[in-house]
Structure 1
């Protein structure tokens, strides 16, 4: 049995249903991310797990115990909020010790645990400081230490990095993942940032409109999306319209140029227009042989981004973007220049519904 089990979870606010019968099983020690746009229900699920919101229906179990109707302080869960929520009138050490004092732990146990947590978050010398004397990244580490100090069964992270600048976010997400692995604590992380989800998670639960669209590893979610929403939400995507020439052999036409997919186009008829997806990294400039597809077009835009040059190629009605590495001794192509773009049959993803 999974360590955390959510079954048919529903949350309704008035006439609006925010979470629509969600099922989710999380293994002990696993890091699972709820990923999706604002309003998709991910934070509402997190708050129901924590007990800050009551479930309209459904059950939540931790290690086989039904906690659906328990109060937050009865669930033994640690939570880190987006806005840190540190007590401004308490020192760093006192913030970390707060939950331990509420639990009536001994002074010696509290002092030892606070010292352990300060070492864990790499702030051993800052126990006497106050939150206003810390940077945003340091405050978030303290919030993490406070949540972990009480040795919770589950750690909940509600977009804890969204208020930080880009460099600190990258550094802190690596630290959070390292701490989680070191402690082996079951963790649910909420974010709308796909890069965070892909880089940190054991599994990602992609949500849309109160439902789970797909649950899988980062590799599966990125490379094998099961719906058009997942394909377009996770990662950068080129979407092209292709007209079916022969569904059995996987032949299509893109702006009067023929390509072939690796699989049959089951359910499609000759003349149907399908939405096809190609990741930018799957595309290369230059003619390729050996079963690859080639499309001829012209350079529409070239954007120099330092280490990467982003190139936009127009065929006719369809346009794709691709990235190439900057090479100082090789000038990038110019606008209007004719080029051939190549990609393999396996790189083509046929989305879940015909294009309009």
Structure 2
């Protein structure tokens, strides 16, 4: 059985009359990489600051390694933290920045030098120890900030949107490096981001937050393919929404733009004639017949965008507009705006939104 290392129990945080985190519960296993994902103002950074000790919860408890740390100061929690701003000391070299926490902790010079050298090797900057922060790129500075957080060998690593200030190409490269280092060291990590791609690509599990609550906790596969709420479905990935009506709730039959679709599962709590919202991922849709896709809806091509290897197609389906991507094939011309088309998909891929 996996060991729970970080336990957040019934945490609530209010600033005056405004509650920004409510009834938050989460158990994180030792060595697990968990992302807090959500839009601005959802409470994810506040929750991270509560774990770090920079904010005191209005209610609830935070436990690390079986120890209640709720009322401990940040420097008593044995954590490392990396912020969006690099916050490196401009008058110290890279090596001195990395070793700063070790010096404060009174680690002997020889041991500190060895640890700094190890960190420089891990972040792939072994020759940069004598440089100053202004001589580094943004990505290099963030790697140094990560090394500084890891040098004291904390039990828990907290990352507060550390990649958001970097350009897209550097972000992709650095997120792979961060995940690689985290796996190598086996350190339990909480990562805050508003970028769904970062969360999906880096995490063992994702906590999708909205309105101060954890809307859903699950693996990237579960969050993307089996969203528990309408917000999760719409926030994570691109989603097509189809509005229809229930024909037979017992058999799960619905009608969308004149087409009957059998979902092959009961629609509990629904009655014939009720309106229903259905979601469909773009990759689940084809124009025309496709093996394994047992449902179809008639529509009209409303827009075609050529993007090189991919052609993005929008199809008007009654009051709905459906987007899908098809691969470019030189032998097959793209659809033409205005022509009628059937979009096909597997009925089992339709998500019923609550």
- Report the TM range for the smaller structure's normalisation: over 0.9
Residue aligning to 1:333: 335
Partner of residue 150 from structure 2, selected from 148, 151, 162: 148
Partner of residue 286 from structure 2, selected from 284, 287, 305: 284
Give the Cα separation in 2 of the matches to 1:130 and 1:233: 40
CA contact (8 A) 1:301 1:311 kept: yes
Give the Cα separation in 2 of the matches to 1:288 and 1:269: 32
- Residues 63-90 of structure 1: CA deviation (Å, up to 9, x unaligned): 1100000011101100000011111111
Give the Cα separation in 1 of the matches to 2:290 and 2:109: 70
Residue aligning to 2:219: 217
Relative to structure 2, which stretch is displaced further, 256-265 or 313-322?
Answer: 256-265
Residue aligning to 2:114: 112
- Residues 186-221 of structure 1: CA deviation (Å, up to 9, x unaligned): 000000100000000000001110111110100011
For residue 287 of structure 1, report the CA deviation from its aligned partner.
Answer: 2.6
CA contact (8 A) 1:306 1:326 kept: yes
Residue aligning to 1:37: 39
Residue aligning to 2:203: 201
Q: Following TM superposition, where does structure 1 have runs of at least 4 consecutive aligned residues deviating by more than 4 angstroms?
A: 288-291
- Residues 96-131 of structure 1: CA deviation (Å, up to 9, x unaligned): 000000000111011100000000000001111111
TM-score (norm 1): 0.97
Give the Cα separation in 1 of the matches to 2:347 and 2:138: 47
1:201-350 mapped onto 2 (5 Å cutoff): 201-288=203-290, 292-350=294-352
CA contact (8 A) 1:5 1:26 kept: yes
Residue aligning to 2:183: 181
For residue 262 of structure 1, report the CA deviation from its aligned partner.
Answer: 2.9
Give the Cα separation in 1 of the matches to 2:277 and 2:174: 38
Give the Cα separation in 1 of the matches to 2:318 and 2:250: 26
Distance 1:290 1:53, change over 3 A: closer
3-state DSSP class of the match of 1:229?
helix
Give the Cα separation in 1 of the matches to 2:203 and 2:26: 15
Residue aligning to 1:131: 133
Give the Cα separation in 2 of the matches to 1:54 and 1:262: 49
Give the Cα separation in 1 of the matches to 2:220 and 2:343: 27
For structure 2, the 5+ residue unaligned runs are: none
- Residues 218-274 of structure 1: CA deviation (Å, up to 9, x unaligned): 001111111111111111000010111111111111111221213111111111010
CA contact (8 A) 1:288 1:294 kept: no
Distance 1:345 1:129, change over 3 A: same
Give the Cα separation in 1 of the matches to 2:291 and 2:54: 59
Distance 1:215 1:262, change over 3 A: same
- Residues 13-49 of structure 1: CA deviation (Å, up to 9, x unaligned): 1110111020110000000000011111100011111
Give the Cα separation in 2 of the matches to 1:129 and 1:329: 55
Partner of residue 192 from structure 1, selected from 167, 191, 194: 194
3-state DSSP class of the match of 1:339?
strand
For structure 1, the 5+ residue unaligned runs are: none
Relative to structure 2, which stretch is displaced further, 153-162 or 257-266?
Answer: 257-266
Aligned residue pair count: 352
Residue aligning to 1:69: 71
Relative to structure 2, which stretch is displaced further, 332-341 or 21-30?
Answer: 332-341
RMSD of Structure 2 on Structure 1 (CA): 1.1
CA contact (8 A) 1:244 1:270 kept: yes
1:91 maps to 2:93: yes
Give the Cα separation in 2 of the matches to 1:288 and 1:40: 40
